[in-house]
Amino acid sequence: MKLITLAKKEAQDILRNKIYLLVVFVQVFIIFGAFGLAVASSIAMDPNLLDSYGLSSSLKVGISQDLNGSALAKDLEAQNLNLIYFKDMNQANNLLGTRLVAVVEVSSQPKQDVTVHMDTANVFYPVVSTKVNSAVNKFKVEKRLESAGVNDSDIQKVQNLVTLNVVGVKKNQDAGIALDSPYFVEIMYGFIVPFILLLPIFLAGNIVTDSIVGERERKTFEILLMAPISSSMVILGKTLPILIFSLVQSVAWMLILEILHVPIYNSFSLIFILFFVGLGFIGAGIFISMLVDSTKEANSAITMLLVFATFLLFMPLFITSSYFEGILNFIPTVLMVKLASTPNINPEIMLLSLPTVFLSSFIFLITVRYFKHERAIRL
């Protein structure tokens, strides 16, 4: 009963704190902002998506008037690029970076070497580079075949040796992801999803630190310590509402991602991992709160902890070397990526979460022990 009373008080303090509630709305803003950024960057990086949304026509490429109707011009038009013809190529080069994203020049015969100038600062540079290079490579092949005496009809056959027809199967099992783009899938599941789900966990460490240090500054912490309740119950009374508050947020963010057509798989396994990561952060937050004397010091310390933890949790997501794969698989964020993005997964993969479980439990138990020591000294 005493534990429930303490937990209720802590929950009420959380819900009354307008800053915490504001942070919840900020997280929602971050979710939609990150999703929008992923969509925009995916479209900017994927030529097929750019074509499907009809944005390729806005990519203007300067080319000599003498090449109007040439094989190179046709190849560039086949890439859905908007060609602007110039009599004076110096004028075209002057417009590069303002009206034009690329300028293509061809030297006089017989060599006909192709020179391409591109605006590398343009957001669509990767797509433009892919499209222009594809057209130029096709043009070069055509010229080589022509110089070898191959006629036009045979050149077309050589250029189109294989016709690829994609036939969709098991469409009823389609994940229905927001964008059918490898880049979108990679950036969403490879970084944004674990980041979003861990945001409430990061906040949990800050909440518990503010709670304990705040009570010490208000001189109510000593009253709590003198209450006829064990140290373990005090810690649990502080921890459970914050941990539940964080997990409820993470589940809500999963639902929002589902609404945005970013399906999250293996939700219960993810909640299991989030529970222990949260337990570790809350334990660290309580430990820090016992070492500092003011909210300012506590905020500085928890900020340093979050920076360090963010580095340890998210840096492995960008390491592709196979040499470290055995170690990186135990990092909770790496495990979260695998669980969230794969519908059918081997249950044995959860064994990889054991280091997280043991480490978080160890941090929490050390915190409880230190709390008992501090309580004995204060009383």
Average per-residue pLDDT for the chain: 83
Domains, the chain, in order of start with CATH, read 2-42+181-378 (no CATH), 48-159 (3.40.190)
pLDDT digits (tens, 9 = 90+) for 128-177: 888 888 888 888 877 777 666 666 565 565 556 566 566 665 655 556 78
What pTM, to 2 d.p., does this model score?
A: 0.82
Arithmetic mean of pLDDT, 280-292 = 86
Least confident of 173-182, 305-314, 364-373: 173-182
Phi, psi dihedrals of residue 84, rounded to the nearest 5°: -115, 120
pLDDT digits (tens, 9 = 90+) for 176-210: 787 888 889 899 999 999 999 999 999 888 888 87
Q: Three-state SS for 64?
A: strand
User: Could you tell me the sign of the dihedral formed by the alpha carbons of 81, 84, 88, 90, in that order?
Assistant: negative
- pLDDT at 255 exceeding the cut of 90: yes
What percentage of the chain has pLDDT greater than the value 90? 25
Q: Which of 293, 290, 276 is nearest to 362 (CA)?
A: 276
Cα–Cα distance measured from residue 325 to residue 355, given in angstroms and rounded to the nearest whole number: 15
Higher pLDDT: 100 or 8? It is: 100
pLDDT band at 374 (very low <50, low <70, confident <90, very high): low
Prior bond to 110 cis, omega within 30?
Answer: yes
- pLDDT computed for residue 379 by the predictor: 46
Single-letter amino acid code for the residue at 351: L
